[in-house]
Amino acid sequence: MSAVRQILILAIVTAAILAAGCMQTVVEPQPAPAAPSVNMTVPFPPIPVSSQDGVNLAYELEVSPIGNRTLVPEKVEVIDPDTGAILWSLDGELLAALYHPAADPPPTAAELESGTGKLPVPRISLWFKVGPDAVPDRLVHRLTLNRTESGLAPVTLTGGNVTVRNDLAPVVIGSPVRGAGWTAIETTAPVTHHFLTQITMNGATRVPQRYAQDWIYLDPVTGQAATGNVTPAKNFLGYGREIYSVANGMVVDVMDGLPDLETIYSAPPATVATAAGNYVIVDIGNQKYACYAHMVPGSIRVGVGDTVTEGEVLGLMGNSGNSDLPHLHFQVVTDTPSFLGAEGYPHVYRSFDVIGGVDQALAEEKTSGPDYPINRLWSEFGDFVTLSPQPVSQENNLTENRAVVRLP
């Protein structure tokens, strides 16, 4: 083959290759999907409060999506930014129980003002314990969001920086009830109706019952809660027992005249006006208010403007208002004398003795069966109570959930 022909063939082949290359589609790299924008804040910073099992930190993480997005939290980690230690981690069923999505449709302006449980912004309730020597100065939160519905991998965001209020202290108070056999329920635990109830009123969302207790009286020997037929409320051993002022102060609000519910678990739908039943609220100083609920109608012995002293009888334990069975609902709030329109503030009891406990896991296991009605639980309540051979003295602590105690 001549040199001229070889050059021509090479030229043709080269031209063909170049032409093929010019016809190929150029694929531009696509940008990765933007991570969702979420504003994480802590509306009411945690105030450390001691109980028998450690120091409690209880607060809410508000997670506001920026833009039209639906949040699906998959995991939350609470971190001490000074050490990097993960103080608490939650996911699965526990996170599902503690997550409060925004209401759909959102609450109306009238509801936000008058009082509603509908949330305008999503929240996550956080309650965990640390050791007395391990209380952090600050907290930060790592939030993992599930994006499976969008076909995307989970994304992890960090935020919600907050200073722990080590500069504040719980209110130290006396006993609202007296004697041996009292159990405090729905307290010092993340999944309780007190802690999980978010109320928006006067345009602000608060947790008024954050540190509340429901006090139920048990026989200090048998652990029983009632005698005979447990359906009538008056057969409960705590019915009609005296309720005492926990501190010196002035009575600022009283409700009386609401009827007692004659049978247990028969409360009508709660309203803002009737939820606490017959009640007393006492100003105990420094913008803190002690609140006592569900008293027997006609038993309240004080009126608005009265000065009371610690240990003074305020009224008798009943079953009025939003009450399942006779008990004292007790809480301390700050800034506003209101059961539902104020922020819950921590309190500790000056002294008490732990004399036993209620096996909540066993009680839940029993009542989960179809052939074990809730009334039967209360008729057999002593089966779930273990009394200790030696009392354990406590000072300036909050009672643990389901502890059985003796109060001075």
Same domain, 213 and 92: no
Residue in 217, 245, 222, 248 with CA at minimum distance from that of residue 406: 217
Percent residues over pLDDT 70 in the chain: 90
Query: What residue numbers bound the domain in which 229 lies?
Result: 171-351
Residue where a domain terminates, one of 329, 351, 373:
351
User: Same domain, yes or no, for 92 and 148?
Assistant: yes
291-303: per-residue pLDDT in tens?
Answer: 999 999 999 999 9
> In this structure, is residue 405 part of a structural domain?
no
For residues 176 and 229, membership in a common domain is answered with yes
At which of 109, 139, 163 does a domain end?
Answer: 163
Is 211 in the same domain as 345?
Answer: yes
Specify the higher pLDDT residue, 152 or 381: 381
Domain count of the fold of the chain: 2
Q: Are residues 125 and 217 in the same domain?
A: no
Q: Read off the pTM.
A: 0.89
Residues 175 and 151 reside in one and the same domain: no
* Assigned domain for 396 exists: no
**Does residue 1 fall inside a structural domain?**
no
- How high is the pLDDT of residue 191? 96
391-401: per-residue pLDDT in tens? 999 999 999 99
Task: Decide: 164 and 46 in contact? Cβ < 8 Å.
Answer: yes
pLDDT on residue 24: 44
Kindly state whether residues 147 and 211 are assigned to the same domain.
Answer: no
Distance CA 127, CA 244 (A): 29
Give the residue carrying structure tokens 């105030």: 47
Phi and psi dihedrals of 323, rounded to 5? -130, 130
Look at residue 242 and tell me if it is in a domain.
Answer: yes
Residues 122 and 239 in one domain: no
State the pLDDT at residue 35. 58
Q: What is the mean pLDDT of the chain?
A: 91
Predicted pLDDT at 67: 63
What digits encode the pLDDT tens for the residues 25-81?
A: 444 544 445 556 789 999 999 999 999 999 999 999 999 886 666 788 999 999 999
User: Which DSSP letter does residue 5 get?
Assistant: H
d(CA 337, CA 126): 25
CATH of the domain at 94: 2.60.40
The answer to whether position 12 is within a domain reads no
Are both 181 and 254 inside the same structural domain? yes
pLDDT on residue 226: 98
The answer, yes or no, to whether residue 305 has pLDDT greater than 70, is yes
Establish whether the linkage from the previous residue to 105 is cis, with ω within 30° of 0: yes
399 in a domain, yes or no? no
Q: Is the pLDDT of residue 10 over 90?
A: no
Confidence of residue 205 (pLDDT cuts 50, 70, 90): very high
Lowest mean pLDDT among 4-13, 87-96, 299-308: 4-13
What is the DSSP secondary-structure string of 344-404?
Answer: E--EEEEEEEEEEEE-HHHHHHHHTSTT--HHHHHHTGGGGEEEEEEEEEEEEEBPPTTEE
Q: 226 with 295, same domain?
A: yes
Residue 230, class by beta-carbon neighbours within 10 Å (0-12 exposed, 13-18 middle, 19+ buried)? buried
